[in-house]
Chains A and B, each alone.
Chain A
């Protein structure tokens, strides 16, 4: 049987950097990739830009080389924005890998693991030449969806929620190459039928009335724009609540700087703290320094394998900040380096120390990054109030919540316009019932005004809908008839879903409302009523009726009348 020091499964960004970092340190490395090129979503998936990195990551050697080559080439159609060419990047990755002695096998699908007790000792794969297997001291799972770990029997976090996916095609725009990356809905890539249906549906939805020369298309990307899949249950986990409360691990192996880039539109179905953060407090664009602990790459209870990619141990919310290409480079480098140390010292991966890994590349100073996170928030109540009066209240709502500021905000409730709305939202986050009067009024009037995020973009949820959601948080039993009315009669998805969410809570928490709440919810579950549809980013009409019925039914089953 063939034997390698390290086998890397998956040649996406993380896999490439894992293989490279290991090979550069003298390891004998095999890289398996199911498509015909390296780079994953960053090449085959046609996602050329780096999110929030001014489009080019020139801090990195390969990108720099590629960018210099494409600038001077004259043979490639230029990219519309300042990005690295995905075509040149494919070649640059594989030349760099080959130069460093990495053996690459394309069209290779992992079909099994070799194991000895709880230790992964190699991989089985299928390629056009047939089935093969090879042993390795360490296996790196960079398959994004954790295929190796799943085959090894690893446990995964059970969030059950995933980000919408994108179906991407490249086309001509302003005499340049660009990519349309419209979100296409939700997909469960672990369910072959659902995955296939979504692939077909999303591509068919992109048929124009007439194909034309001015916006002629080049290619439907052969890789789906999946943002989320399985999350490993690791020895440590990156958690949203820890990040927003700045409780970061002591000895991280990487720092990411990102916002929680959610593409979800129906945020009412997400966990409450995420809804409050993104919708009520308008914090979608806020960037944090996010520390990733080494244990997030290590599967609990399994040795010989390490994760590198978006499959690391992170909850669904935190995962939205640690899934970008820049982060994948870091994770790949860390996994490759850790594997090298384990092989050279003949120790298990869990015995590798963070200090040894980070000795290979300096990390920014922890206290500085933590302070940057802390400095995001306002501390002066006067400044908070000033900001709460604006259409874009910046970070004031969340600052008031974090700092426990309530009384100074009461006077805002008497003011007109956005001040009283934002004041009520900030108070409701803190369960302060002074907010009730304003919230009831907003919900009653189905107030359609919308506040703006830090990026000055109005959010989709109108004030009245957010208020309906917060009435449930405040357990406002007096609003029960109002919420029933909104749920049953509104024609707006956001009002109906917010009122529904609050009805679920009120019905569960208040025995006197249980019977009537149960009846209304039951009527919805067994009835024919369709929830008003809403538009996805790509323009597709989304119907949440079945999803809401399913959640409601589970809820009703837990209610004792």
Chain B
């Protein structure tokens, strides 16, 4: 059995931020892409430098900026995974990817055909919200051809309607497609395809490039109660900043 002071479930921005500012932490994630809760749901929003309270988060912002991944409060979503991987390596954070948490008490994890227990004083789950899911979105990255412009009516921030969020580059945008919390992946895929097939002519220049591998979920719990839930933050750097601050408490 391996022993750690803290076990963090989710190689999320919050979890990685927490681990970067702590010692003796093991971060475990079921996927292979750290930061997937924002990267694989195609988040385009990013905090401004002055909104970040910790040096580590501000440093990460600067690296994103240096690589041309952010501009005017928007992030190029595809930059998030490689940049966070680099951050993890640089800070020598203990991360086990493709490893699933089976039990919390005691911590039991599994990777491939290997199952083992982990002893930890503290367990932090950054993947699963404690509240119920209030809103759910299935997003897609759009590519705009021939200087495509997003029609005004799709720039709304209305949670219940399909919205097009401008991306880091003029030809990059994200379709934010609302679905009911009980919708499964098969149903969501059929719906988003049907919706985009029948889109109005004003959107014809926008084509779906890829559809998100994960749902983006908003819970009904307050952030104070659910402060570990990484996707509960409005953007990846705020989540990372919060994780770092939690560790520094």
Residues of A within 8 A of B (CB): 34-37, 44, 73-78, 87-88, 90-91, 94-95, 98, 104, 106-107, 109, 111, 126, 128, 131, 145-147, 150-151, 169-172, 175, 177, 189-190, 192-193, 195-196, 199-201, 203-204, 206-213, 216-220, 222-224
Q: Is the CB of B214 within 8 A of A36?
A: yes
CB distance from B4 to the nearest CB of A (A): 14
Q: Is the CB of B78 within 8 A of A169?
A: yes
Given known A106-B185, A207-B86, A219-B40, contact A75–B169 (CB-CB < 8 A): no
State the CA gap A212–B34 with chains docked (Å).
22
Instruction: Say whether B49 faces chain A, with CB atoms less than 8 Å apart.
Output: no
Q: Is the CB of B100 within 8 A of A200?
A: no
Task: Tell me which residues across on chain B come within 8 A of A222, comparing CB atoms.
Answer: 31-33, 36, 40, 213
Closest to B171 in A: A213
Q: Is the CB of B209 within 8 A of A177?
A: yes
Given known A75-B196, A212-B68, contact A217–B76 (CB-CB < 8 A): yes
Given known A91-B193, A222-B36, contact A211–B68 (CB-CB < 8 A): yes
**Size category of the binding interface on chain B:** 35 or more
Task: Tell me which residues across on chain B come within 8 A of A88, comparing CB atoms.
Answer: 193
Query: Of the candidates B36, B82, B115, B190, which one forms a contact with A207 in the assembled complex, judged by CB atoms under 8 Å apart?
Result: B82
Given known A77-B208, A217-B76, A218-B78, contact A210–B67 (CB-CB < 8 A): yes
Q: Is the CB of A224 within 8 A of B68?
A: no
Could you write out 16 A-B pairs with CB less than 8 Å apart?
Answer: A36-B185, A75-B197, A76-B207, A94-B185, A94-B186, A95-B186, A111-B102, A190-B112, A196-B98, A199-B85, A203-B86, A207-B67, A216-B76, A218-B141, A219-B78, A220-B39
Closest to B40 in A: A222
Task: Tell me which residues across on chain B come within 8 A of A201, comparing CB atoms.
Answer: 85, 89
State the CA gap A222–B79 with chains docked (Å).
14
Q: Is the CB of B99 within 8 A of A192?
A: yes
State the CA gap A298–B210 with chains docked (Å).
38
Instruction: Say whether B218 faces chain A, with CB atoms less than 8 Å apart.
Output: no
Q: Is the CB of B68 within 8 A of A210?
A: yes
Q: Is the CB of A209 within 8 A of B115?
A: no
If over half of B's interface residues share one DSSP class (helix, strand or loop), that class is named, otherwise mixed; here it is mixed
Q: Is the CB of A90 within 8 A of B113?
A: no
Q: Is the CB of B83 within 8 A of A91?
A: no
State the CA gap A95–B184 with chains docked (Å).
13
Q: Is the CB of B171 within 8 A of A216?
A: yes
Task: Tell me which residues across on chain A come within 8 A of B114, comparing CB atoms.
Answer: 190, 192
Closest to A213 in B: B169
State the CA gap A207–B31 with chains docked (Å).
20
Q: Is the CB of B89 within 8 A of A204?
A: yes
Q: Is the CB of B102 within 8 A of A204?
A: no
State the CA gap A192–B26 with chains docked (Å).
13
Task: Tell me which residues across on chain B come within 8 A of A213, comparing CB atoms.
Answer: 169-172
Task: Tell me which residues across on chain B come within 8 A of A131, comparing CB atoms.
Answer: 102
Q: Is the CB of B78 within 8 A of A196?
A: no
Instruction: Say whether B95 faces chain A, with CB atoms less than 8 Å apart.
Output: yes
CB distance from B151 to the nearest CB of A (A): 16
Q: Is the CB of B67 within 8 A of A219?
A: no
Task: Tell me which residues across on chain A come within 8 A of B185, comparing CB atoms.
Answer: 36-37, 94, 106
Q: Is the CB of B143 within 8 A of A77?
A: yes
CB distance from B27 to the nearest CB of A (A): 10
State the CA gap A206–B89 with chains docked (Å).
14
Query: Of the candidates A74, A203, A219, A224, which one forms a contact with B141 in the assembled complex, judged by CB atoms under 8 Å apart?
Result: A219
State the CA gap A214–B186 with chains docked (Å).
32
Q: Is the CB of B78 within 8 A of A87?
A: no
Task: Tell me which residues across on chain A come within 8 A of B189, comparing CB atoms.
Answer: 37, 90-91, 94
Task: Tell me which residues across on chain B come within 8 A of A109, comparing CB atoms.
Answer: 30, 100, 110
Q: Is the CB of B31 within 8 A of A211?
A: no
Closest to B97 in A: A196
State the CA gap A78–B31 with chains docked (Å).
28
State the CA gap A213–B208 with chains docked (Å).
16
Query: Of the candidates B30, B97, B210, which one forms a contact with A219 in the assembled complex, judged by CB atoms under 8 Å apart?
Result: B210
Q: Is the CB of B85 within 8 A of A203?
A: yes
Q: Is the CB of A75 within 8 A of B68?
A: no
State the CA gap A424–B61 with chains docked (Å).
60
Closest to B195 in A: A75
Task: Tell me which residues across on chain A come within 8 A of B113, comparing CB atoms.
Answer: 145-147, 150-151, 190
State the CA gap A44–B81 with chains docked (Å).
16
Given known A200-B85, A207-B83, contact A216–B96 (CB-CB < 8 A): no
Q: Is the CB of A75 within 8 A of B207?
A: yes
Closest to A94 in B: B186
Contact with A along B210-235 (1 / 0, CB 8 A): 11011000000000000000000000
Given known A76-B207, A217-B78, A218-B78, contact A44–B213 (CB-CB < 8 A): yes
State the CA gap A73–B81 with chains docked (Å).
30
State the CA gap A199–B128 with chains docked (Å).
23
**Top 3 A-B pairs ranked by shortest CB distance?**
A217-B78, A150-B113, A192-B111
Q: Known A-B contacts: A126-B100, A196-B98, A220-B39. Give 15 more (CB < 8 A).
A: A73-B197, A75-B199, A76-B207, A91-B186, A104-B186, A109-B100, A145-B113, A147-B112, A189-B98, A199-B98, A204-B85, A208-B67, A213-B170, A216-B169, A216-B171
Which residues of chain B from 175 to 194 have a CB within 8 Å of any chain A CB? 184-186, 189-190, 193
CB distance from A379 to the nearest CB of B (A): 48
Instruction: Say whether B240 faces chain A, with CB atoms less than 8 Å apart.
Output: no
State the CA gap A124–B168 with chains docked (Å).
44
Closest to B29 in A: A196
Closest to A205 in B: B82
CB distance from A16 to the nearest CB of B (A): 13
Given known A199-B97, A216-B76, A222-B40, contact A111–B110 (CB-CB < 8 A): yes
